[in-house]
């Protein structure tokens, strides 16, 4: 299966970002802490150019803490300020707001305009709500909830610009595309559940085998991803007339990964690991 998804509204979103960047002082780029590289949009590097950037590894409470620290060290070695945030990050939000103007050189009385960018479902709207201290940006479990850019005052001298999540037109790295699909960054209607679930099983059986055994109460893992999928289906009662309900079992696996039911794990290692 080749994964590709570029809804029509994303082309407009890309143009909105290009126009908005002309008046932005700093860009906050949100990535998923479990897959920081796959959840980066390569188009943004060209669009952002020399504008100061702060990288935020969101959903850090779902990621392997050792690997998250490795990613933070890697970005900082590239002279990119980076910060890991999780769902309990309200104190960090206050500190982040306090520091934002210091990232740019400007007159003291000038408003700092901050653009928040990232791919779909990476947590941009959730972050904006935390920065504001109130719910104003719509949040959802499905990607592409935010459909248009919006500018909001967050403090006397800071304005936030939230943008729709933007994927690049062609997902050339299909391994990265599978990681994105597993994390929920690509709409379920654009993927084949069994295909992505088998990818997840392949990864977990190689990197976190104990998670699979513990989560699904398996004494040992069968040889091969298809056989492990059958084991999970049988343990979870995913049966139908004539045999195993692979689709239902695959849904359970993806929901467990996306909800954090497996515990803290990461789908990518930093380059220097």
Write down the pLDDT at residue 147.
45
Write down the pLDDT at residue 260.
93
The CB-side HSE value for 176 (13 A sphere, CA atoms) comes to 17
pTM of model > 0.85: no
Write down the pLDDT at residue 207.
95
Sorted by where each begins, the domain ranges of the chain are: 8-162, 192-259
Full pLDDT tens readout for the chain, 273 residues: 666 555 555 566 667 777 777 778 888 889 999 999 999 877 777 778 888 888 899 999 999 999 999 999 999 998 888 889 887 766 566 677 777 766 666 555 577 888 888 887 788 777 777 777 666 555 444 444 444 456 777 777 788 877 766 666 566 778 888 999 999 888 888 889 999 999 999 999 999 999 999 999 999 999 999 999 999 999 999 988 878 999 999 999 999 999 999 999 999 999 876
User: Distance from first CA to last CA of the chain, Å, rounded?
Assistant: 29
What the block records as the tokens of 189 is 């209607």
User: Under 8 Å CB-to-CB from 83, ≥6 apart: which residues?
Assistant: 54, 55, 56, 57, 72, 92, 96
* CATH of region 8-162: 3.40.50.300
Write down the pLDDT at residue 33.
95
Same fold, 8-162 and 192-259: no
Q: Is 115 helix (H, G, I), strand (E, B) or coil?
A: strand
- 16, 139, 264, 95: CA torsion to nearest 10: 70
* CATH of region 192-259: 1.10.1580.10
């Amino acid at each position: 299966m080749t994964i590709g998804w570029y809804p029509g509204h994303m082309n407009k979103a890309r143009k909105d970002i290009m126009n908005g960047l002309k008046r932005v002082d700093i860009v906050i780029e949100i990535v998923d802490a479990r897959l920081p590289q796959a959840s980066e949009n390569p188009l943004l590097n060209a669009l952002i150019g020399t504008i100061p950037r702060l990288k935020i590894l969101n959903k850090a409470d779902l990621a392997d803490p050792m690997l998250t620290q490795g990613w933070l060290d890697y970005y900082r070695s590239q002279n990119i300020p980076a910060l890991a945030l999780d769902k309990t990050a309200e104190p960090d939000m206050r500190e982040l707001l306090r520091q934002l103007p210091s990232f740019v050189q400007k007159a003291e009385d000038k408003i700092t305009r901050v653009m928040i960018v990232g791919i779909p479902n990476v947590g941009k709207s959730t972050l904006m709500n935390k920065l504001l201290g109130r719910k104003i940006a719509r949040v959802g479990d499905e990607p592409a909830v935010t459909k248009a850019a919006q500018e909001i005052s967050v403090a006397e001298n800071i304005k936030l610009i939230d943008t729709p999540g933007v994927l690049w037109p062609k997902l050339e790295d299909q391994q990265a595309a599978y990681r994105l699909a597993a994390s929920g960054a690509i709409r379920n209607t654009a993927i084949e559940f069994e295909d992505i679930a088998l990818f997840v099983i392949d990864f977990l059986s190689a990197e976190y085998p104990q998670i699979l055994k513990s989560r699904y109460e398996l004494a040992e893992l069968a040889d091969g991803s298809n056989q492990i999928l059958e084991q999970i289906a049988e343990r979870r009662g995913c049966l139908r007339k004539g045999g195993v309900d692979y689709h239902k079992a695959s849904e359970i696996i993806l929901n467990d990964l996306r909800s954090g039911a497996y515990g803290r794990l990461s789908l990518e290692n930093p380059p220097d690991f």
